[in-house]
């Protein structure tokens, strides 16, 4: 858990405020301008850009808070994307970088000092996770993750909350 990063990221989202409206469209436009070859793989870009942006922010916030669901979320979106094209971890890294840059630019002077670095640290950890996931067959990873969740639940149900 990166408590300081999480607090700073939360403050920056509050600073972003209404400038969040329209951010997904701008982010998507900037990404496609830099990667025009990916434009044709989007079938429903309007719906996808909103969900992609929201889930990207959630994954970074969740990672900073040390949430248990981050890994399964990442496994799920990497798996989902495999249906569309062969994306690399570099593609994800650029998407995260652009997300952070777009938020900071839209917020302007109110963007808290150090906020971009805090988001970036979480993005880096997610890119590491994406790289690791990319090397392991998904079915095996998913199974291992489910088993881990079952064990954790059994542990909690037994009344022992030390993990």
At its nearest, how many Å lie between ligand HEM and the CB of residue 15? Answer: 22
Question: Among residues 70 and 115, whose Cβ is nearest to ligand HEM?
Answer: 70
- Interatomic CA distance for residues 153 and 160, integer angstroms: 10
Residue among 9, 24, 27, 52 that touches ligand HEM (CB under 6 A): 52
What single string gives the DSSP state of each residue in 63-114? HHTT-TTHHHHHHHHHHHHTTT----HHHHHHHHHHHHHHHHHHHGGGSPTT
Structure tokens belonging to residue 128: 């590491």
- Interatomic CA distance for residues 64 and 61, integer angstroms: 5
Which range in 34-42, 104-112, 134-142, 151-159 contacts ligand HEM by CB under 6 A?
34-42
Residue among 48, 65, 104, 138 that touches ligand HEM (CB under 6 A): 48
Instruction: Answer for the pair 11, 112: CB distance below 8 angstroms, yes or no.
Output: yes
Residues 94-133 that bind ligand HEM (CB under 6 A): 95
Q: Does 92 bind ligand HEM (CB under 6 A)?
A: yes
Q: Does 44 bind ligand HEM (CB under 6 A)?
A: yes
What character string, x for contact with ligand HEM (CB under 6 A) and - otherwise, covers 58-87? -x-----------------x--xx--x--x
Question: Among residues 38 and 142, whose Cβ is nearest to ligand HEM?
Answer: 38
Question: Among residues 66 and 108, whose Cβ is nearest to ligand HEM?
Answer: 66
- For CA atoms 81, 130, 20, 23, the dihedral sign is negative
């Amino acid at each position: 858990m990166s408590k300081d990063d999480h607090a700073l990221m939360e403050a920056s989202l509050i600073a972003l405020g209404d400038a969040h409206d329209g951010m997904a469209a701008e982010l998507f436009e900037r990404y496609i301008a830099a990667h025009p070859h990916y434009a044709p793989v989007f079938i429903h870009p309007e719906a996808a850009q909103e969900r992609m942006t929201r889930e990207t922010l959630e994954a970074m916030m969740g990672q900073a808070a040390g949430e248990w669901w981050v890994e399964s979320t990442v496994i799920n979106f990497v798996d989902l994307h495999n249906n569309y094209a062969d994306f690399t971890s570099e593609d994800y890294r650029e998407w995260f970088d652009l997300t952070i840059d777009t938020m900071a630019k839209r917020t302007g002077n109110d963007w808290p000092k150090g906020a971009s670095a805090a988001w970036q640290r979480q993005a880096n950890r997610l890119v590491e996770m994406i790289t690791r996931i990319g090397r392991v067959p998904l079915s095996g990873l998913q199974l291992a993750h489910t088993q881990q969740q079952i064990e954790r639940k059994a542990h909690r149900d037994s009344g022992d909350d030390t993990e």
